């Protein structure tokens, strides 16, 4: 530990201990129950996801000094069950010449009881620079963690002069894995012509890297591809990435930045093709997801439940913190698409389950941390119970749910679309804080699973084929005692659970 590291540690420890919201969330109605959030300050990208020695590790981009973001560290959470997370402190500090302006995003490779933590060291040179095409260093670096959590000295692996000459200064976010006896790494990049791409490197020792390929779309698709993630899922090679600069197309690509995946056909180190880009999540707050494989062979995704540079807000800034992570999601590949479902461990939180047939308009109160599952597969028999006249049948083909008077979840079978929208409630409030409307095309709505956690919501449609994640802020300034869920339209079997750690 050098002198700068010691100073940064004392500085960050003092900030964390000073904030009364740390761990307890006393007096803050929007602190979360089972979603990972920062102890204080700012949280963004998940980093270094892995399982080592029976322990799950979640590192994250962290700025403890400012809830609006500042100098970036890697914060560190651990868990043995993917549902109860313990914050262990800051793991990586910006304390070297090649990362002094931020320890940026990266990944973990687990081998021989060690986690190899690859990350981008950010440096912004002093002077009159644009920091896109000049004045910035995006260094690829490595730190090694033993299974007891001890992290060794860092190593600089690649710097700007090692990258292809046609790239801008924006090269970052290494994802490293082992396949067929060799090590591979992908890096997100932006060319001098403002075209997003992914660099593919290989290595035989985890330290010396050789460029093997550059992956890109035939037509430009955004100016920068962040947070690349290459993996095999049910036999398909998948490239996940977060493109910036993609223009909205109808209801698609509605956020300022996107996150999604392409099936990769061919050899990723040679001739290959990136197929259709699918968005992982259609909600307002989702970016920079990362996946890892646990010892049971599951492919698990965690995403940042936030969005940079957007035109909506998070009032938790006034409480000294901002953003959270999604719950861990298990991925499956079927019929050319990825399905996402909360990991099975989350079901251990279920308490006090209750099932009811929704036949008409209905309003219920649910716990601040709750799960709701609506099965529309039983619509026909429920409609028959309610009656078979013409006035009943159409409502079996539509759904409208209102949460806390302002968040509208709806399905329209004639338009074949599902919508998440924030509207003003009758009392003039709007819990979206500037969030408006997001949609997805859906031929049929079969089921809907909702995770509520005070100020966060995740909605899984049709067994996780489509997902919407968003922050929401009901009952501003009060202690949240319950969510109000009103069914305005729709028929189905509803099960509700209270979720409790």
45 catalytic per annotation: yes
3-state secondary structure of 3: helix
Residue 59, exposed/middle/buried by CB under 10 A (0-12, 13-18, 19+)? buried
SS3 for 18? helix
Continuous segment of H or E residues that includes residue 15: helix 3-18
Q: Structure tokens of 226?
A: 């962040």
Catalytic residue among 28, 45, 173, 453: 45
- Which residues are paired to 293 by β-bridges? 299
| Count of beta carbons in the 10 Å neighbourhood of residue 152 | 12
C-alpha to C-alpha distance for 267 and 264, rounded to whole angstroms: 8
CB 184 within 8 A of CB 200: yes
Give the separation between CA 330 and CA 333, rounded to whole angstroms: 10
**CA gap 465, 231 in Å, rounded:** 19
Contact between 32 and 316 under an 8 Å Cβ cutoff? The reply is no
Extended beta strands in 245-381, E state: 260-266, 272-279, 287-293, 299-305, 321-322, 324-325, 329-334, 337-342, 350-358, 362-366, 369-375
E strands present in 323-446:
324-325, 329-334, 337-342, 350-358, 362-366, 369-375, 398-403, 407-412, 417-422, 437-441
Q: What backbone torsions phi and psi does residue 449 show, to the nearest 5 degrees?
A: -115, 125
CB atoms within 10 A of CB 180: 5
Of 96, 70, 76, 79, nearest in space to 153 by CA: 96
Q: What are phi and psi of 4, to 5 degrees?
A: -65, -40
For residue 114, count CB atoms less than 10 angstroms from its CB and return exposed for 0-12, middle for 13-18, buried for 19 or more: middle
Task: Tell me the three state secondary structure of residue 340.
Answer: strand
Instruction: List, by residue number, the catalytic residues.
Output: 45
């Amino acid at each position: 530990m050098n002198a700068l590291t010691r100073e940064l540690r004392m500085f960050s420890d003092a900030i964390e201990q000073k904030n009364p919201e740390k761990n307890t969330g006393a007096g803050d109605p929007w602190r979360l129950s089972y979603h990972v959030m920062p102890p204080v300050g700012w949280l963004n990208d998940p980093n270094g996801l892995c399982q080592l020695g029976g322990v799950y590790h979640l590192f994250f981009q962290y700025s403890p000094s400012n809830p609006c973001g500042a100098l970036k560290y890697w914060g560190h959470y651990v868990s043995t069950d993917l549902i109860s997370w313990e914050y262990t402190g800051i793991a990586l500090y910006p304390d070297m010449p090649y990362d002094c302006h931020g320890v940026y995003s990266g990944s973990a490779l687990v081998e021989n009881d060690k986690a190899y933590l690859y990350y981008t060291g950010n440096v912004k040179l002093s002077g009159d620079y644009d920091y896109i095409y000049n004045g910035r260093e995006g260094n690829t670096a490595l730190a090694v963690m033993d299974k007891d959590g001890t992290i060794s000295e860092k190593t600089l692996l690649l710097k700007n002069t090692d990258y292809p000459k046609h790239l801008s200064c924006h090269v970052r976010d290494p994802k490293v894995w082992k396949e067929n006896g060799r090590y591979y790494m992908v890096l997100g990049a932006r060319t001098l012509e403002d075209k997003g791409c992914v660099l593919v490197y290989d290595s035989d020792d985890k330290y010396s890297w050789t460029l093997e390929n550059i992956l890109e779309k035939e037509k430009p698709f955004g100016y920068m591809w962040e947070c690349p993630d290459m993996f095999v899922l049910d036999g398909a090679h998948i490239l996940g990435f977060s493109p910036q600069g993609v223009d909205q197309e109808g209801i698609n690509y509605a956020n300022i930045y996107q996150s999604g995946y392409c099936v990769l056909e061919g050899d990723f180190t040679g001739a290959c093709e990136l197929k259709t880009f699918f968005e992982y999540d259609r909600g307002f707050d989702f970016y920079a997801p990362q996946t890892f494989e646990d010892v049971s062979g599951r492919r698990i995704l965690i995403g940042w439940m936030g969005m940079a540079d957007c035109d909506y807000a998070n009032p938790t800034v006034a409480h000294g913190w901002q953003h959270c992570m999604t719950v861990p999601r298990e991925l499956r590949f079927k019929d050319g698409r990825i399905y996402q479902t909360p990991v099975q461990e989350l079901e251990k939180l279920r308490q006090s389950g209750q099932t009811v047939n929704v036949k008409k308009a209905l309003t219920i109160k649910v716990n601040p941390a709750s799960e709701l599952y609506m099965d529309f597969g039983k619509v026909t028999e429920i409609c028959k119970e309610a009656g078979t006249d013409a006035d009943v049948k159409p409502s079996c083909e539509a759904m409208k749910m209102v949460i806390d008077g302002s968040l509208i979840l709806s399905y329209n079978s004639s338009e074949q679309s599902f919508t998440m929208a924030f509207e003003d409630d009758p009392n003039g409030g709007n819990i979206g804080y500037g969030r408006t409307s997001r949609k997805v095309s859906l031929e049929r709505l079969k089921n809907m699973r909702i995770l509520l956690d005070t100020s966060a919501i995740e909605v899984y449609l049709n067994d996780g084929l489509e997902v919407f994640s968003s922050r929401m802020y009901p009952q501003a300034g009060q202690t949240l005692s319950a969510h109000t869920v009103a069914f305005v339209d729709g028929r189905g079997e509803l099960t509700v659970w209270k979720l409790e750690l």
